[in-house]
A = this chain, B = another copy of it.
Amino acid sequence: MDAGDLRVFEAVARLGAMNRAAEELHTVQSNVTARIRQIETELGTALFERHSRGVVPTAAGRRLLPYAERVRLLLAEARRVVKDDGEPAGTLAIGSLETTAGLRLPPLLAQYAAAYPAVDLSLVTGTTAALVKEVLDHRLDGAFVCGPVEHDELVEERAFREELVALTSPRIASLDALFGERDLKIIVFRIGCSYRQRLEAILAGRGLIVTRSLEFGTIEGILGCVGAGIGVSLLPRAVVAEAARDGRIALHALPPAEAQVDTVFVRRRDGFASSALKAFLALARPLRVRSEAAE
């Protein structure tokens, strides 16, 4: 039983059929059958129950499955470690909330890309929950998300502290004045956006229950909608300061307990941090200090 065996085993277990596994592995069914049988005889245990519609793992197979993934991940990590000679290189996949990506990251990313041209840097945006999952599944090296996360397998460090402000149409003088409005909606980036729950809680604290919502993919979309009086949103102050100066929207400060939100950088605790990631952290950490000092 070596790494190759476990790869075919994993494919069969996941797809539930040697046929499809063979297809995915770019080989033929008989080959998969033979290798599975070989592993089974080597281990002295049946790993699958064969049925006419496919195969299902036996208890032993279910026990083996997690090891197939662990071995795969470990070998992949070994390859990366061997190639990583301390000079940041290769790929670095970072995740971020939409607002953080727009507000805080551009200078950081530009600086990083200039300093380490050998790194293939990629940035994906998403919600906190989605990004955390991506990090856990080894698809992202790390992510800026809404903290705290407090997950056993992750290590997090505070990156930025934002002041959230409520956004409304310029016609609205204060949050309390929202009571008169009809058909009010919560306007957020996406379903599952981290700020959404917080906004709902803030409004609920003022006696406003708003269940309908709109999702946008861009800041501009949110600003336009809020300005038109369609709803209320919650965003970091710095993101919307300009729009407020232009009179397109009104900002409503919140008490610190409601306004303060920490953006944390999460990464996996286990395994190894590539040189590319280490360099990124080294570049990002000073920002955190500056951000704290600015308050």
Contact = CB atoms under 8 A, between A and B. Distances in A.
A159 to B, nearest CB: 27
Contacts of A3: 1-3, 71
A85 interface: yes
B1 A78 contact: yes
Interface stretch (A16-24, A59-67, A259-267, A283-291): A59-67
When A and B form their complex, which 6 residue pairs have the shortest distance between CB atoms, in order from nearest?
A67-B78, A2-B3, A2-B2, A63-B81, A60-B82, A64-B82
A75 B43 contact: no
A64 B78 contact: yes
Contact of A43 (B43, B47, B82): B82
A7 to B, nearest CB: 9
Contact of A70 (B2, B74, B82, B84): B74
Contacts of A85: 59-60
A163 interface: no
A67 to B, nearest CB: 4
A47 B82 CA distance: 9
A85 B61 CA distance: 11
Given A70-B74, A71-B74, A83 B2 contact: no
B82 A63 contact: yes
Interface residues of A, number: 26
Contacts of A63: 81-82, 84
Interface string A29-72: 00000000000000111010000000000011001100100110
A1 B44 CA distance: 26
A53 to B, nearest CB: 25
B60 A71 contact: no
Contacts of A78: 1, 6, 64, 67, 71
Interface string A1-18: 111101000000000000
Contacts of A71: 3, 71, 74-75, 78
Contacts of A45: 82-83
Contact of A79 (B43, B59, B82, B83): B43
A94 B116 CA distance: 51
B67 A74 contact: yes
A162 interface: no
